[in-house]
Amino acid sequence: MVNNMKNNPQLNRNGELQHLLTIEGLPAATLRHILDTASSFLNVAEREVKKVPLLQGKAIFNLFFEPSTRTRTTFEIAAKKLSADVINLNVGASSTSKGETLLDTVDNLAAMQADMFIVRHSQSGAPHLIARHVAPHIHVVNAGDGRHAHPTQGLLDMFTIRHYKQDLTSLRVAIVGDMLHSRVARSQIHALTTLGVPEVRVIAPKTLIPACAERMGVQIYHDMAKGLKDVDVIIMLRLQNERMRGALLPSAQEYFKYYGLTTEKLALARPDAIVMHPGPMNRGVEIESSVADGVQSVILSQVTFGIAVRMAVMSILMGSGAGSKQ
153 annotated as ligand-binding: yes
CA distance 74 to 313: 12
Alpha helices in 95-235 (DSSP H): 102-110, 126-133, 151-165, 183-194, 224-228
120 annotated as ligand-binding: yes
- Give the strand pairing for 219-221 and 199-203: parallel
Q: Which of 302, 299, 320, 300 is nearest to 310 (CA)?
A: 302
188 annotated as ligand-binding: no
Q: How far are the Cα atoms of 8, 41, 83, 306 from residue 38, in angstroms, in the given order?
A: 24, 5, 16, 9
280 annotated as ligand-binding: yes
- Using only C-alpha atoms, the chain has a radius of gyration, in whole angstroms, of 20
Q: Which helix (H) or strand (E) holds 254?
A: helix 252-259
Q: How far are the Cα atoms of 17, 132, 133, 187, 243 from residue 127, in angstroms, in the given order?
A: 15, 9, 10, 15, 19
206 annotated as ligand-binding: no
Q: Are 106 and 117 in contact (CB under 8 A)?
A: yes
238 annotated as ligand-binding: yes
32 annotated as ligand-binding: no
Alpha helices in 85-167 (DSSP H): 102-110, 126-133, 151-165
Count Cβ atoms below 10 Å from residue 166 Cβ, excluding itself: 9
CA distance 128 to 290: 40
Strand ranges inside 247-296, DSSP E: 274-276
Count Cβ atoms below 10 Å from residue 133 Cβ, excluding itself: 14
Q: Which helix (H) or strand (E) holds 308?
A: helix 299-318
Helix-then-strand count for the chain, H and E:
12, 9
Residue ranges of the binding site? 70-71, 98, 120, 150, 153, 183, 238, 279-280
Residue ranges of the binding site for carbamoyl phosphate? 70-71, 120, 150, 153, 279-280
Residue ranges of the binding site for L-aspartate? 98, 183, 238
